[in-house]
Amino acid sequence: MAAGDIKTTNRDVPLDRVRNIGIIAHIDAGKTTTTERILFYTGKSYKIGDIDEGDTQMDWMAQERERGITIVSAATTTFWTVTDPNSPVGNESFRVNIIDTPGHVDFTAEVERSLRVLDGAVTVLDAEETVQSQTETVWRQADKYKVPRIIFVNKNDKLGANFEGTVKAIIERLGANPAVMAYPIGAEQSFRGVVLLLEKKALIWQGDETGAKFTEEEIPTDMAEVVEKWRAKLIEQICETDDTLLEKFLAGEEPTVPELKAAMRRAVIAYKLVPVYAGASLRNKGVQPMLDAIVEYLPSPVDIDHVKGVAPTTGETVFRKTVVEEPFSGLAFKIQTDPHVGRLTYVRIYSGKLSAGQSVWNASKQKEERISRMLLMHANKREEIDAAYAGEIVALVGLKEATTGNTLSDRSHPIILESITFPEPVISLAIEPKTKSDQEKMGYALNKLSDEDPTFKIKTNHETGQTIISGMGELHLEIIVDRMKREFSVEADTGAPQVAYKETIKKMAEGEGKYIRQSGGRGQYGHCYIRIEPQTRGVGYEFVDAIKSGAIPNEFIPAVEKGVREAMENGVLAGFPTVDMKVTLYDGTYHDVDSSEMAFKIAGSMAFQHTAKIADPVLIEPVMKVEVSTPNQFMGDVIGDLSSKRAQILGTDKRGHLTIINAYVPLAELSGYATKLRSLTQGRASYYMEPSHYEEVPRNIAEGIIAKSGKMAANG
C-alpha cells in the first residue's frame, strides 16, 4: 500500500479513538504548513509539502497553489499513536480526521461550516504577531459552537517572536484560560526545542531537516527557574478544575503526572482550560507534542455524548446518542462539484450507520434522497467505502436536493439539527458572458458555485437585465470568476465592484395599499393597512399578523407578506434591499368574488412602497473593521490617510517595531487601499479587514448614490 492511501483496515477503530479536528487561524499564521507537517509525521505523505513550492497536499486547487492561500477547507484522515506511558488515553492507534480551513476573511463560510461539525480545533498563532483580528473572529465562531481547542504558538523561530507576550494576548484578546504545556527553548534564530512542563523533559530538534527525529535531554540549567515557575502555575490551574486534585494540592501533595493529564483532558473537553504548545512548523520543530495533545486532550465523538435537535412534526426537542445503535442522523455541511464524480455532499454523521445505495430522509426539505456512492476524502483524492458510522465525516454522491445546513436522517425517526448561519455578502459586481455560447454555460456555472458557497449570491436586475454576483470581498469574487473560467470554461466580463448598500427606516409609519382592477368578467380586489417600525441594526425583518375579526381571510395573509417582501428587495430610495424593520398587517378589506392572492400580493407591495417613503428612509453601508500593521515611522501618514476615508480610529497598539492601528472604515472608501498603503509605507505595511456592521450613510454622500442609481424617490 502506498503511503498516501487511507488505511481502510484501521477505519474500524472504536469511536473513542477518533478525533474530528479543524486547524483554524488568521491568514499566514501557518495553518496549512502545520497540517502538512502533521501528514508527514503521521506517515500520510512521503514528502513535506511546501506552500512556496506549490506542492502542498491540502491546498490542491490551482488558485490556492498560485496565491499561496487556502480557499476551500480540505478534509483528510490519518493515524497517530501516543508513546507516552502517562497518556490519559492509552497507546493505541488513533484516527484523526483533519479539516484545514482558510484564514482569509473572504472565505469565512468555510471556517463556519467546518467548526459546526468538528469536535475539537487547533488554533495556530504567530509568535510575533500574537493574537490577530481574524484569530479573534474564528475564536468567536468556535465559541458559538462550543468547540474545545488547543493552541499551537507557531513561528517561534521568527524575528520578534514573543511566546510569553502571546500567552498574555490569549488572555486579554480571546478571554481564554491558557495552560502552557510546552515552553520554548530559545527564541528567534536560537529556537531549538521545547520543554514539556508536566513531564519535565526537554525535546531538542537538530540536524534532521524533516524534524522527524528529536532527542530527549535534561532541561537547560539556565531555564530551571522559568520552567519551575510555569510548571507550578500549570499544576495549580489543572488542580483548580478538579476537586479531588485540589484537596491534594492544598494539602501540599503534588498529584501524579497521569492524574494531572487525566484532569487536563476533562478540563479541555469542558472548556475550562486551553492547552498551549510552542513550535516552528516551517522548521519542523515542536509539531509532535502538539499531535500528542490532539489525541490526549481533544474530545472524541463519544465525549460529545449526544446531539440535540428538533422533531420536525411536533417541534419537540429530541436527542441522539453518538452511537451506531441509534437511528441515523447527519448534517450536510459542504457541497462541492467534483470534475470526476459530480456533486459531492460532505456529511458529518452524528448517530447510526450509513450504507452506499441506501435512501435517506432530508428532514430540512422533507424529501427522500438516494446515496449512490460514499467516499472518504483526502483533500481532492478519494477512496470509495461501503459504510460509515457515527462520528465520521464522509462525502456522499447522488444527493440532488441537499444543501449546506440540511439535516439527513432516518425517515421513521426524523430530526432537524442546528443549522449553520452565514454572514451576508458586502460587495457585488455585474457580470456578463463574453459570447452567446458562454451565456447558457454561465448560468449553469454560477448556480453550481452558489450551491457550494452559501455566502455567494446571484441576482438578476430585471430593469437592466444584468446579472449581479455578491460575495464577502473582492478576492472572493475574483476567485469565483477565475473558477468559472478554469472549471466551467466560461469567459465573462465584470464591472467594477459595487458596495452592497441597504436601506432602512428611522421612524414608525402607517399606510395602506389598495389594488382594484375591473376589466370585464371577474375583477381583482386587494386592500390592506400596514404599520412599519425600525428594528435594531442587524436584527432583520419581522412580519406580524394582527388581523382581527377576519378583516382579511387567512388564506390571503401570506400573499400580503410576499408582496411586502418583494417590495423590500428593491427599496424606495435607490433600489437597494430594505432591512431591519417590523411590518405589522393590522387591517384591510376584501371582496367575496374579486379578491385573490395576486390582488393581495400587489396590495401588500403598494402598501410597503407608500409607507416606507414616509418612514424617514435612509441608506446604510457596510463598515469594515480594519487593522493596519505599519512600521512606527509611517504611523502618522497611515492614520491621516484613514481619517480622509471617513475612518473612526479605535486606537493603536505597539507590537515590537510595529504599530497596529485599529479602525472602522466604510467599505466604499477602501477601493484600491492595498496599493495606497504600499505607496505610503514603502511597501512595508500590511492590513487586514473584515465586515463589522452597517451604519447610516452621511446625507451628502447618500444623495450622490441615490442620484446615480436613477431612482430618486420623494420622501413623502
Binding-site annotation: residue ranges for GTP: 25-32, 100-104, 154-157
From CA 481, how far away is CA 479, in angstroms rounded?
A: 5
Render 644-676 in DSSP notation, one character per residue.
TTT-EEEEEEEETTEEEEEEEEEGGG-TTHHHH
CA torsion, points 193, 195, 196, 199, in degrees to nearest 10? 130
**Cα 258 to chain center, whole Å?**
36
Cα–Cα distances in Å, from 711 out to 166, 211, 431, 644? 52, 64, 22, 29
Q: Which residues sit opposite 348 in a β-bridge?
A: 331, 393
Alpha helices in 176-320 (DSSP H): 224-239, 243-250, 257-269, 287-297
Question: What nine digits make up the cell of 256?
Answer: 501524579
Q: Which residues are annotated as a binding site?
A: 25-32, 100-104, 154-157
Nearest Cα to Cα of residue 99 among 170, 10, 35:
35
CA–CA–CA angle 13, 15, 21 (5° rounding): 100
From CA 156, how far away is CA 586, in angstroms rounded?
A: 64
Classify burial at 389, counting beta carbons within 10 Å of its beta carbon; exposed 0-12, middle 13-18, buried 19 or more. buried
Cα–Cα distances in Å, from 322 out to 298, 329, 467? 16, 9, 45
From CA 404, how far away is CA 309, in angstroms rounded?
A: 17
Nearest Cα to Cα of residue 193 among 278, 125, 127:
278
Question: What nine digits make up the cell of 166?
Answer: 502571546
What is the H or E stretch that residue 560 is in?
Answer: helix 557-569
From CA 165, how far away is CA 153, in angstroms rounded?
A: 11
- Residue that is written with C-alpha cell 509568535 in the block: 127
What lies within 8 Å, CB to CB, of 549 at 6+ separation is: none
Buried b (16+ CB within 10 A) or exposed e, 279-309: bbbbbbbbbbbbbbbbbbbbbbbbbbeebeb
First vs last C-alpha separation in the chain = 75
